[in-house]
Amino acid sequence: MATNLEVTIRRVISTNPATGEVLQQLECGSEAEVRRAVARARVAQASWAGLGVDHRIAILRKFQRLLHESKSEVATLITREAGKPYVEALLTEVLVVLDATRFLIDNAFAFLRDQPVPHGSIAMKAKTGRILREPHGVIAMVSPWNYPLSIPAVDALAALVTGNSVVLKPSEFTSLVGLKLESMLHAAGVPKDVFQVVVGDGATGAALLASDIDKLIFTGSVPTGKRIAQSAAARLLPVVLELGGKDPMLVLEDADIEVASSAAVWGAFVNAGQACLSVERCYVHKSLYTQFLDACVAKTRRLKVGNGMDPQTDVGPMIHERQLRMVEDQVEEAKAQGARVLAGGFCLPESGPHFYAPTVLADVTHQMRIMREETFGPVLSVAPFASEEEAIQLANDSEFGLAASVWTRDRKRGEAVARRIGAGTVMVNDTISCFGISEAPHGGLKASGIGRSHGRFGMEEMVRVKYLDVDRLPRLKKLWWYSYGERLTRQMEAFVDLQFARGGRVRAALQCMGVLKCRKL
């Protein structure tokens, strides 16, 4: 007897990138399942918002305590699923989320409190106004694999404390971390339908975008971000897009070589270079160029590459084969175009399936793809410059504008240069750590995206602003209502003069007195 048409079940596979070990297979959420999740979130959101901010803050306190108590378990899971060294998982993920929670606990109540709006116009002095901040409703989030806890958690916590419900689709490569976040939030008291994780691939993400959501927060590639923006524009869906970077590092002639070279090596190779804030373009004054390269090469060669669970490991694996090949292709192309490989430049199959040696490239130019496109791998590309003006021009010669850093012993000079760099964040004598400053906004310009996360600006993305106006003289007809006529016209001219004329304000005041008389109660 003929069987019914088989339903194809899509699955994602969670794999340890260091060993190739399959951690778990999970079914992808179907379009129908996504719609149902969003519908549940919409029903649950009203009650969640109605609990009040004090109650939501208390739940965040419990979540913070649970995360702290399970920090080792969570960091280990991140290392197993994303590959990064355990200490990086602890510091750049768990610690970042703990501190972001601290910021929200300390600031959410004041942020959501009604904000008085003063009225400067004489005509509006009988009114009182307030700014209200209300939740959007259902916020969807599509998060990446490179920081599978800190990126979604920071946004989700801000959305939750401001009264929204959240449906999160984590990267298919790090689904287990997303599910762990879900279990901790539920254990802390967030209702099951207020925060939901839908596991899946690109089709699941597309279904989430097409569902009945009120806002989308996406972190990922520029091509995908552009497609999302086009789709969202058709329905005027508000979005936040964080689309990566090609962050420059400017080492001026008075910089401390020892400090700057250590920063460049860490900034380029942390998380195997798989960070949107990685140092991907390093410009060094020609007077320091050779010394700086020598220092970077020496420090790079001392790095230990291996499994992130080994406490001696400095650099872990790439997330998957496709990302490794992308890095390999860019390096090989740069070599063919004249770049010098001073360290690394090759795969490390003996270490595991996805390892690439930390690489230092010299004499790179903007004609090379490795200086234009996001590399997202353990490569430090270094080029010389002759003047401060040239360094600024090189830094700004990019379609990206996420972050940058300036290195100098002169603080005022560093700030002056920073102001001329087109980026969402510019650090003087530090790099990447801006992501861990919970009060500071994170986001970029140009192809790096739209909107901000973190801090007060991140909370602003989670609310709709409403202006509430109350007239304190409800029985008085307003001066500007009908009927008009010649008399009212003269009186209104006098009223304008009363407020803005350089002289003759007393006469204007007397002329417009009749306005009140003609407005009957």
HEC-encoded secondary structure of 302-320: CCCECCCCCCCCCECCCCC
Catalytic residue among 182, 242, 280, 374: 242
- The length of the chain is 521
Question: How far is Cα 93 from Cα 72, in angstroms, rounded to an integer?
Answer: 11
Sheet of strand 379-385: strand arrangement: 340-343, 359-362, 379-385, 279-285, 247-251, 403-407, 425-428
If you ran DSSP here, which 8-state letter would residue 434 be given? G
The pairing of beta strand 279-285 with beta strand 138-142: unpaired
In angstroms, rounded to a whole number, what is the distance separating the alpha carbons of residues 171 and 141?
11
Tokens linked to 441: 């906004």
Q: Which of 239, 71, 62 is nearest to 157 (CA)?
A: 62
Nearest to 142 by CA among 223, 218, 213, 207: 218
Strand partners for 12 = 26
Cα–Cα distance for residue pair 375/330, rounded to 1 Å:
7
Active site residue 242: yes
* SS3 letters across 103-142: HHHHHHHHHHCCEEECCCCHHHCCEEEEEEEEECCEEEEE
CA torsion through residues 104, 107, 108, 111, sign: negative
CA distances from 271 to 247, 315, 413 (A): 15, 7, 31
Q: Which amino acid is at 388?
A: E
Phi, psi of 130 (to 5 degrees): -140, 145
- The rounded distance, in Å, linking the Cα atoms of 11 and 181 is 20
Q: 81, 93, 182, 276: which is the annotated catalytic residue?
A: 276
Of the candidates 519, 450, 453, which has an alpha carbon nearest to the alpha carbon of residue 484? 519
Q: Strands 247-251 and 403-407: what pairing?
A: parallel
Active site residue 296: no
In the block, residue with structure tokens 């959101």: 45
Is the separation of the CB atoms in 237 and 227 below 8 Å?
Answer: no
Report which of 220, 323, 235, 227 is spatially closest to residue 271, judged by C-alpha positions. 323
Q: What share of the chain is helix, strand, coil (3-state, %, to 5)?
A: 45, 20, 35
Catalytic residue numbers, as ranges: 242, 276
